[in-house]
Amino acid sequence: MATDHKNDAGTNVVSLGDLLQELGLKPDSLVQEIGVDEDVDDDFRDRLEDLLDEELLDEDVQEVVDAVLVWFRDGDDDLTDALVDALATLDEGGVLWLLTPRSGREGYVAPVEIQDAAPNAGLHVTSSAGVSTHWAATRLMGRKKQ
């Protein structure tokens, strides 16, 4: 019997139908991505664009967006700076997803580095999502205003 890797618990990746819910997005959400390079997960990007029925916006777009995906690897510039830059176009109440290579892969970013950088950018880690076999996704949100 063949294994459907999209539903394989061993890969810890959500099924196609659950991807938007997992990311807290709706069809037609505007999503910007930053840090795209040749190593990103194109299957994940294609699935997300299909479900959104919108193209992902590149980092040069300056309009307000519902979510930002930040592709970040160990060895890229400063993580705190990358997170602060990502907030420039994010709508109030929007979500920032930090995508980092999974453990054991080149460019892996330890969770403690994310935990250290997030508060310095005015964010906190809220959850993680299994969106790719090669990339881990960490959800970051701004602190609630009092």
Mean pLDDT of 71-85: 96
Whether 47 and 23 have beta carbons less than 8 Å apart is answered as no
User: What residue ranges do the domains of the chain occupy?
Assistant: 18-142
> Residue 6: is its pLDDT beyond 90?
no
Beta bridge partners, 139, equal 97, 127
Which amino acid is residue 32, in one-letter code? Q
Answer yes or no: CATH 3.40.50.150 is held by domain 18-142.
Answer: yes
DSSP code per residue over 14-33: --GGGHHHHHT--TT--EEE
What are the pLDDT digits (tens) for 123-146? 999 998 878 889 999 999 986 554
Burial label for 98, CB within 10 Å (0-12, 13-18, 19+), is: buried
Residue 46, φ and ψ in degrees, nearest 5? -65, -45
Integer-rounded Cα radius of gyration of the chain: 15
Look-up: residue for tokens 């970013």? 109
In the prediction, which pLDDT does 135 show? 93
What are the pLDDT digits (tens) for 16-69? 557 888 888 999 899 999 999 999 999 999 999 999 999 999 999 999 999 999
Confidence (pTM): 0.87
6 vs 80, more confident? 80
- Band (4; pLDDT cuts 50, 70, 90): very low
